[in-house]
Amino acid sequence: MNVCVASLCKAKQLEKAEIVIVDGIRIGLQPDVVTYNTLIAAYCRFVGIDAGYSILHRMKDAGINPDVITYNALIAGATRYSLLSKCLDLFDEMLEMRILPDIWSYNTLMNCFFKFGKPDEAYRVFQDILLKNISVHSATFNILINGLCMNGYTENALMLFRSLKCHGFIPQLVTYNILIHGLCKSGRGNVAREFLNELVELGHIPNAITYTTVMKCCFRYRQFEEGLKIFAEMRNKGYTYDAFAYCTVASMLLKTGRITEANEYLGYIITSGFTIDIVSFNTIFNLYCKEGQLDNAYTLLYEAENGGLESDKYTHAILIDGLCRTGNFQEAQQQLNRMSVTGFDSNLVAWNSFINGLCKTGQLDYATHIFESMDTRDSVSYSTMVRGLCQARRFRAASKLLLSCIRGGMNILKSDKRIVIDGLRSCGLTHEARKVQSKIQMAKLLHY
DNA sequence: CGGATGGCGC
């Protein structure tokens, strides 16, 4: 029965799995801890953490005690849904129940801390593993390397990787995938390339994840044709069994103005029978919004939501950008305000999109007002405003903003700084231009 | 029976 339940759960057929269990009970087979653990993992993955909990209760009611695997599945579920405190509670609960955590409990907890941007605490978990003399799993190192990369410690991740190799650790394909991704994200595409060669030399065969990662890396460095070549190779090898890579390609095409081609690839997503999840939906939705087909976009959104797809912060940001592009600033503003009441606040990208739209249409005072009322701002917010002010030839205001951005420890693009300085000069404000330049230099010295 | 890697927005 357990084998059957497991394979149904893997295939997301939870109702069928439940039927098998009921049938089993009818012929005298009682579900055991393995059956429940399988169910808990599947419910956490496909339905939600509460669904996982309800199985836990069912299990306890049936007189079966949870074990370490039960808790690991729940902790992983809590991590998936970004519930840090729930992870910690579960870990404590496990200890209280005198269930000894295994390496995977620690791995999962460590991964959870990394995911929440708490690398120090994650590292403490790792030290705990060593202290308690629990033998590590290769995944422990993979999680460490990934966590370090994702939290801006790419250099440390590289050092760890190299020292592990010296100690006889044989990197797996996942290890390379993680490293390549991390290196690319931190702007070290050249090192990523080296690792791509290395993994092949070591006899690994790149998988769909490797291809998608490398392809995105190419796009990041504006090597579009190179990336498309990788995609073609990936398709030839039959590695496009999901929409992941198609989304990357389509959004690159859209961003570079190759609308017709983007349309083509999105067509594949729709006709290939892939499950349209929120990410692929957003990619398609973005096409309609960028083309200014807001009516079609709304229809699509309506249909998707009726079909049970839940929009996320990406959906909202795309919509707001679309509304701005079509000049519907009032509706964009309303949507933004609605967003903050429905829990999508801190959607900085959407707000940035809005001020960008306002700046592009010369509504600088309105943009400034919004910018000042935002509770958080990032370097994009500043860049957008700075560029907008320069375009309106309000160079003094732009330089003031630029300096306050730098004082806040945020860095904006060199080209944006250039625009301000050149602008000041073009107005004959040579003295101010020089002042800004020296302040930028000073900030550089102080920060690095 | 669980647990690590890839896709979308300014």
Note the pLDDT tens digit of each residue in A220-240. 999 999 999 999 999 999 999
Residues A133/A103, Cβ–Cβ less than 8 Å: no
Nucleic strand B contact set for A 333-352 (CB, < 7 Å): 347-350, 352
The whole-number pLDDT of residue A170 equals 93
**Cα-to-chain-centroid distance, residue A362:** 33
- Whether nucleic acid strand B comes within 7 Å of the CB of A73, the answer is yes
What is the rounded distance in angstroms from the CA atom of residue A364 to the CA atom of residue A73?
Answer: 51
Phi-psi category of residue A138: left, alpha or beta, with phi > 0 → left and psi -120 to 50 → alpha: alpha
Task: Measure, in angstroms, how far nucleotide B8 C1' is from residue A353 CA.
Answer: 15
Domain A1-101 CATH assignment equals 1.25.40.10:
yes
pLDDT at A345 over 60: no
Q: Which nt has its C1' nearest the CA of A176? A: B5
Q: Is the CB of A38 under 7 A from strand B?
A: yes
Measured CA to C1', the nucleotide nearest A349 is B10
Lowest mean pLDDT among A108-122, A156-170, A328-342, A352-366: A328-342
Q: How far is the CA of A350 from the C1' of B5 (A)?
A: 28
Alpha carbons within 13 A on the beta-carbon side of A58: 18
A 251-290, residues with C-beta < 7 Å of strand B: 251, 254-255, 277-280, 282-283, 286
Q: Tell me the pLDDT band of A343, cut-offs 50, 70 and 90.
A: low
Cβ contact A78 with chain B strand, < 7 A: no
What does the pLDDT read at residue A338? 87
Contacts of A140 by beta carbon, 8 Å cutoff, 6+ apart: A103, A106, A107, A110, A126, A129
pLDDT value at residue A422:
95
Give the nucleotide at minimum CA-to-C1' distance from A73.
B2
Nearest Cα residue to A56 out of A76, A33, A79: A33
Give the pLDDT confidence of A175-205 residue by residue, as tens digits. 999 999 999 999 999 999 999 999 999 999 9
- Contact criterion met (CB below 8 Å) for A69 and A32: no
pLDDT for res A443: 83
Whether nucleic acid strand B comes within 7 Å of the CB of A235, the answer is: no
Is pLDDT above 70 for A287?
yes
> Quick check: A344 pLDDT over 90?
no
Query: Is residue A339 pLDDT above 70, yes or no?
Result: yes
A417 CB less than 7 Å from any atom of strand B: no
Indicate the pLDDT class of residue A109, thresholds 50, 70 and 90.
very high
Find the nucleotide nearest A384 (Cα to C1′).
Answer: B10
The CA angle A193-A199-A201, to the nearest 5 degrees, is 105
Mean pLDDT in chain A? 94
pLDDT in tens, A366-425: 999 999 999 899 999 999 999 999 999 999 999 999 999 998 888 889 999 999 999 999
Q: What is the mean pLDDT of residues A97-104?
A: 96
**Residue A308 burial by Cβ neighbours in a 10 Å radius (0-12, 13-18, 19+):** exposed
Interatomic separation, CA of residue A268 and C1' of nucleotide B2, rounded (Å): 35
Q: What is the 3-state secondary structure (H, E, C) of A383-444?
A: HHHHHHHHHCCCHHHHHHHHHHHHHCCCCCCHHHHHHHHHHHHHCCCHHHHHHHHHHHHHHH
Confidence of residue A173 (pLDDT cuts 50, 70, 90): very high
